[in-house]
A and B are shown apart, each in its own frame.
Chain A
Amino acid sequence: MTPILECRDLTKMYGKNTRPALNHVNLKLNRGRIIGLLGPNGSGKTTLIKLANGLLAPTSGGIWIDEKPVGVETHRIVSYLPERTYLNMGMTVNEAIRYFRDFYTDFQEERAYEMLKNLHIDPSARLKSLSKGTKEKVQLILVMSRNAQLYVLDEPIGGVDPAARDYILNTIITNYNENATVLISTHLIADVETILDEVVFLRYGEVVLHASVDAIREENGKSVDALFREVFRC
């Protein structure tokens, strides 16, 4: 099976004489996995994610999704949750759902409404009237209601309460289809560790480890979270 995402010699520099945000990254992510993208702040997680979504252009090397260069074709199969609010705040939740339905043919409206109900979010509320955590939930619901092949979630559980966090992780486990891959960037490793197949550790824009969670636990006799703290001890 071909990888869903592949980076070849991917390098991104934000300025001429700056340290690269990503430094010759070679990475292959397979289908049907839940993958944690881990690393301290400034390690290049968000840069990698933006490159995968065409919001930044690589300085050199390239990134392919489903063997295609990033573009309209890949946007069709990638469901992306950025680490900020990206909806027009003047919209109501209903309108945001209609927006997604209009543009994404793989959007499942019923699924979105069911999740809204479970998280007690009023669909007629205007987005700007919602709390930050609720806005984040709405965005996650929209993103998870697509039948995408690759979900890219940038810090999806950062700002929400533990109950919602459990619901969200549950949603991630139950909602994605078997051949889809979920890439989750987070610094809350302990919370997501058990739902991950594998992890990618980034440091200074380089991949320092790409292994399965159980392999890490087996080899090191410690959790990924503990290993992470050790590797990135300052």
Chain B
Amino acid sequence: MLGKLLKYDLKASYRYLLVCYVIYIVLTVGFVLSVKGVDVTAGVPGMILAFAFLSLTILWIGSLIALIILTYVLVIRRFYVNLVRDEGYLSLTLPVSTRMHMLSKLLSGIFFILLTGAVLVAGFMIVAAGLGGESIWEQLYQVFSDFLQTFESFYGTLFFVNGILNFIRGILLIYFSICVGQMFTKHKIWGAIGTYLGLLIVLEIFVWIASLLFGLYGGVNALVRWMYSGSTWVNTIYIIAQILVYFFLGAWILEKRANLE
């Protein structure tokens, strides 16, 4: 069942994203070409090129940001429309558990966001290759091997793992907020936004109090480490706990507290 759900979740959004990726790559190439063509000393045509360069830079950076936002919007919209709006009448009456729905939405969401990330990186590479000349590949290789080095230390690895978990937590927090929000019959979207912001604030306060308590026992160092650590076990457990709560409680709400208007 998970496979089938995933198939339809991917099918529902890939077309939009594909178009956006193509636009982004085209803009990137345009940006690179315009930079290469700029020669301010060459007079008026050069000025025009400079203007083109400026506008393409803005466009390129704009498209980059737009792509990230759009990916998130598509991922969130799919969850909302497919599960708690009209399409929910079909999705939630399929012989499929709501946990499967959550998992499929999570995996497809991760996939799309990572895909966008990969496309963005590809864009950077094009820019780097276009502007940086030969040495850029060596530099990129250097960056990559530096990155690999983080895994040589335990804390580096943990930092990386926590980063991934945090990313998953971020998506699930949004899904969970939508699940809670749909219980507010008249204000589903505001309910979701309120839940999301409310949870963020509550969690911040929680971390702050917890680190204060830890701080009392372990001194200021412990406090600082607790608050800003992406590389402690406590942090890992804390994030995993959130992931589990959002996932299972969200699925439970969809199953037992569904409130489709």
Contact = CB atoms under 8 A, between A and B. Distances in A.
Interface of A: 14-15, 50, 53-57, 71-73, 75-76, 78, 80, 82, 84-88, 90, 99, 102-104
A73 B257 CA distance: 17
Interface in B1-60: 1, 4, 7-8, 12
3 nearest CB pairs, A to B: A86-B89, A76-B95, A86-B90
Contacts of A103: 1, 4, 94-96
A72 B89 contact: no
Contacts of B86: 84-86
Contact of B258 (A15, A57, A86, A102): A57
Nearest to B258: A55
Interface string B220-261: 000000000000000000000000000000000001111110
Contacts of B255: 54, 71
A103 B256 CA distance: 21
Nearest to A75: B95
A99 B260 CA distance: 22
Interface residues of B, number: 24
B6 to A, nearest CB: 11
A103 B95 CA distance: 7
A86 B87 contact: yes
B259 A57 contact: yes
A176 to B, nearest CB: 18
16 contacts: A14-B185, A15-B185, A54-B258, A55-B259, A56-B260, A57-B257, A72-B95, A72-B97, A75-B93, A82-B89, A86-B89, A87-B87, A87-B90, A90-B12, A103-B96, A104-B94
Given A72-B95, A103-B4, A104-B95, A55 B89 contact: yes
A70 to B, nearest CB: 9
Contacts of B256: 57
Chain A residues touching B, majority SS: loop
Contacts, number: 63
B163 interface: no
B90 A102 contact: no
Nearest to B100: A72
Chain B residues touching A, majority SS: loop
Contacts of B194: none
A54 B4 contact: no
A55 B4 contact: no
A99 B8 contact: yes
Nearest to B4: A102
A219 B142 CA distance: 91
A45 to B, nearest CB: 15
A53 B93 contact: yes
Contacts of B87: 86-88
Given A71-B255, A86-B86, A86-B87, A54 B92 contact: yes
Given A14-B185, A56-B258, A80 B8 contact: no
Nearest to B5: A103
Best-buried of B87, B94, B97, B256 by chain A (most CB within 10 Å)? B94
B88 interface: yes
Contact of B12 (A80, A85, A88): A88
A55 B260 CA distance: 6
Contacts of A57: 256-259
Contacts of A71: 255
Nearest to B89: A86
Contacts of A88: 8, 12, 82, 87
Interface in B75-90: 82, 86-90
B257 A55 contact: no
Nearest to B1: A103
A54 B185 contact: no
A17 to B, nearest CB: 14
B259 A56 contact: yes
Contacts of A104: 94-95
B89 to A, nearest CB: 4
Given A55-B89, A103-B4, 4 more contacts: A54-B255, A72-B95, A102-B7, A103-B94
